[in-house]
Amino acid sequence: MPNMKVVDMAGKVVGEIALSEKVFGAPVKEAVLHTAVRAFLMNQRQGTQSALTRSEVSGGGKKPWRQKGTGHARQGSTRSPQWTHGGIVFAPKPRSYRVTLNKATKRAALFGALSSKVADSEMIVVDAITASEYKTKSMVAMLSALGAGKKTLIVLPAVDEKVIKSCANIEGVKTTQWNTINVYDILNCDTLIVAQGAVAKIEEVYAR
């Protein structure tokens, strides 16, 4: 089992935790991570883009000039794609980009992402992440004490409005809960800060 030091919000070591080998010591498979990240990004697309085809543009029912004898190229409608205000060739239409992954792939990707952060020493376990008031300064002080990178993901054991709103104005910092973490956010951050309570819940659910 990989062991990790537990620190407080001031960066002082207060203990040690034995992480689950299944969750935080899993093999890192790049192909699985790529599949999970691609699925996440595809699922963010709304797919609402739409443009008019030649048959959907109003007007253009009359032939602009006779077929022969004018010196112009022959034209059948002013709404053909080569005309200004004409229709769009192969116009995009609303569609779903949704990609689904099976449960085994999702878990393998999540375990791999968490394990990569542990292996690269980019994960920090904090005994408790709390805020007594809505104050950005306290969260900035914590990030500074922990030596967090430009992009930081903070994982909480439960919804804490004071912590979430205190971090909302800090550039590059994102907060989430243990049950809503995803592979993309984990890999996209420079530092993964996880509350000890969140680690316990992740292991309780996924290490079984």
pLDDT tens-digit map of 161-208 = 999 999 999 999 999 999 999 999 999 999 999 999 999 999 999 877
Task: Quote helix, strand, coil % in the chain, to nearest 5.
Answer: 35, 15, 50
pLDDT surpassing 80 at residue 90? yes
**pLDDT mean over 15-28:** 93
Q: What is the pLDDT of residue 3?
A: 85
pLDDT, position 149: 87
Specify the pLDDT at position 1. Answer: 61
* For residues 20-29, average pLDDT: 93
Please give the domain boundaries of the chain with CATH numbers for all domains.
Answer: 3-45+101-206 (3.40.1370.10), 46-96 (no CATH)
Q: What is the pLDDT of residue 2?
A: 74
Q: Quick check: 164 and 185 in contact, CB under 8 A?
A: no
Q: What is residue 50's three-state secondary structure?
A: coil
Cα–Cα nearest to 139, from 170, 181, 161: 170
Q: Look up residue 60 and give its two tokens.
A: 């253009």
Phi, psi of 33, deg, nearest 5: -65, -40
pLDDT, residue 44, reads 95
DSSP 179: G
- The mean pLDDT of 106-134, rounded to a whole number, is 94
Angle between helices 103-119 and 196-206 (to 10 degrees): 140
Average pLDDT, the chain: 94
pLDDT, tens digit (0-9, with 9 covering 90-100), for 34-61: 999 999 999 999 999 999 999 999 999 9
Contact 101, 35 (CB under 8 A): yes
CA–CA dist 4, 112 (Å, integer): 17
**Between 1 and 173, the higher pLDDT residue:** 173
Hey, is 12 helix, strand or coil?
coil
For the chain, the first-to-last Cα distance in angstroms comes to 15
